[in-house]
Amino acid sequence: MKVIMPDIMKVEYNVRVLQEAETLRNVGHDVVVVGFSNKSKKRNFTINDIPIVSFYLHDGRKGVSRLIRYVTAFKMILGINFYVIFQKADVYHAHNFHVLPACWFSAFIHGGKLIYDTHETWTVHKNRKYHPEHIFAFIVEKLFLRFITRFITVNEMVADYYKTKYDVNNATILYNTRKILPLVKKDLIREDLNLQKSKKIALFVGGFWPNGRGIMELIQSSEFLNGNIAIVLIGYGSEQMLQKMSDEIERYDGQDKVFILPGQPPDKLMDYVMSADIGMNLIKRESQAQDFQSPWKLFEYCMSGLAVVSTDLPFHRKVYGKFKIGEFCDKDNSPKSIATQIKLLLKDRKRLDQFKKNARKAAEEEFNWKVQEEKLLKLYTEITTH
């Protein structure tokens, strides 16, 4: 079968979509991923032998560059949608609401199946209660979800939300997990930062965004930690955000305790994660949106055999209840609470090691792509035989 997978996301870092595409390709489906790139202006290229159709998005954030970004964003969204409309396929696998109408139209014209694979609760995912995107998402989903063949999402909380709001049933849950990797402890972080072997590393990985990540609170927690613990943040962010983080480190005299490393491509990131002792899975609850999140980093920490400090939120509590992988800080991510939980984990070596074993067990038993892809293949088998 020919499958079109459009998403409004950077194709180079869209691990979920690329893994789904690879899984389907490996069983004989002809899959094309459609998205955008800030790096390349090439329209057609491949990633891991998967055909990519990419539309360029300028990455400027200031002055004239910001205006250029808006123009290229408009062209990119139109380009992706028009590409989908004119492609004949057996399955249109839409990965967000921005492409759902085009996928429905093309599926209707060409007699294809329509899958909606949402990674967010789009009507509440912005931190503000009222946001134009929430209204647009609601209109699109209300109009077109009735026509989908199957529904996929990232966790049970999102599935329940769509069931309540739109009466969408029988969701297939695919967690945002990676392929199973051998547990080989690395030391790249200590080597890159020239840290002593005895120094323990509490690691945060992910985008450096100003809202919802608990990044500033994590930096501030260094005030309550001794010099034998290093907080390391690995990720990408705007110049303004990186400067703000650096200023906060200086403000709290954390130059010897808090370190920022550049983001790593997906194929190298796990070597860095396996270099840490504790994974920091912080989500600042600023609105209802955070109650639906099941972040990549939680599963990456499990794969790397790290004990985890998480914000006390619904999905985190579900995981901890089953596998007991670490400790909770409070929902406000108060710096003192974060520091207290880090110190609590490091205080008892036997307990820390048990959390690490539990985390790896969680990855091996449930939170890996081998387990998730079986559910995806089952779904595709069902839609092709009915």
Residue 88, classified by CB atoms within 10 Å of its CB into exposed (0-12), middle (13-18) or buried (19+), is exposed
- Please indicate, yes or no, if residue 319 is contained in any of the structural domains: yes
**88 has pLDDT over 90:** yes
Q: How far, in Å, CA of 300 to CA of 302, rounded? A: 5
Q: Give residue 172's domain range.
A: 2-177+368-385
If asked whether residues 207 and 325 sit together in one domain, one would say yes
Closest-CA residue to 101 (of 136, 71, 132, 153)? 136
If asked whether residues 52 and 99 sit together in one domain, one would say yes
Confidence at residue 59, expressed as pLDDT on a 0 to 100 scale: 82
If asked whether residues 336 and 195 sit together in one domain, one would say yes
Say if CB 18 and CB 44 are below 8 A apart: no
- Please indicate, yes or no, if residue 226 is contained in any of the structural domains: yes
If asked whether residues 142 and 274 sit together in one domain, one would say no
- Please indicate, yes or no, if residue 256 is contained in any of the structural domains: yes
**104 has pLDDT over 90:** yes
Q: How many CA atoms lie within 13 A of 33 on its CB side?
A: 31
Confidence at residue 238, expressed as pLDDT on a 0 to 100 scale: 85
Confidence at residue 39, expressed as pLDDT on a 0 to 100 scale: 86
If asked whether residues 117 and 169 sit together in one domain, one would say yes
Q: How confident is residue 138, by pLDDT bands cut at 50, 70 and 90?
A: very high
Residue 244, classified by CB atoms within 10 Å of its CB into exposed (0-12), middle (13-18) or buried (19+), is middle
If asked whether residues 212 and 359 sit together in one domain, one would say yes
pLDDT digits (tens, 9 = 90+) for 308-321: 999 999 999 999 99
**229 has pLDDT over 90:** yes
Per-residue tokens: 239? 């110049």
If asked whether residues 87 and 21 sit together in one domain, one would say yes
Adjacent-strand bridge partners of 44: 53
Confidence at residue 124, expressed as pLDDT on a 0 to 100 scale: 84
- Please indicate, yes or no, if residue 183 is contained in any of the structural domains: no
**129 has pLDDT over 70:** no
- Please indicate, yes or no, if residue 372 is contained in any of the structural domains: yes
If asked whether residues 39 and 148 sit together in one domain, one would say yes
pLDDT digits (tens, 9 = 90+) for 340-381: 999 999 999 999 999 999 999 999 999 999 999 999 999 999
pLDDT digits (tens, 9 = 90+) for 180-228: 999 998 899 999 999 999 999 999 999 998 777 899 999 999 999 998 9
Say if CB 266 and CB 176 are below 8 A apart: no
Residue 108 sits in a domain whose CATH number is: 3.40.50.2000
Confidence at residue 61, expressed as pLDDT on a 0 to 100 scale: 74
If asked whether residues 225 and 106 sit together in one domain, one would say no
Per-residue tokens: 172? 């297939």
**127 has pLDDT over 80:** no
Share of the chain above pLDDT 70, in %: 98
If asked whether residues 173 and 227 sit together in one domain, one would say no
- Please indicate, yes or no, if residue 182 is contained in any of the structural domains: no
Q: How confident is residue 78, by pLDDT bands cut at 50, 70 and 90?
A: very high
If asked whether residues 373 and 359 sit together in one domain, one would say no
Confidence at residue 128, expressed as pLDDT on a 0 to 100 scale: 63
Average pLDDT (231-237) is 95
Q: How far, in Å, CA of 214 to CA of 96, rounded? A: 26
Sign of CA dihedral 378, 384, 385, 386: positive
Say if CB 291 and CB 316 are below 8 A apart: no
Number of domains in the chain: 2
Average pLDDT (29-58) is 95
Confidence at residue 347, expressed as pLDDT on a 0 to 100 scale: 92
Return the higher-pLDDT residue of 130 and 177: 177
Mean pLDDT of the chain: 94
**112 has pLDDT over 90:** yes
Q: How confident is residue 384, by pLDDT bands cut at 50, 70 and 90?
A: confident
- Please indicate, yes or no, if residue 351 is contained in any of the structural domains: yes
Confidence at residue 86, expressed as pLDDT on a 0 to 100 scale: 96
If asked whether residues 220 and 93 sit together in one domain, one would say no
- Please indicate, yes or no, if residue 376 is contained in any of the structural domains: yes
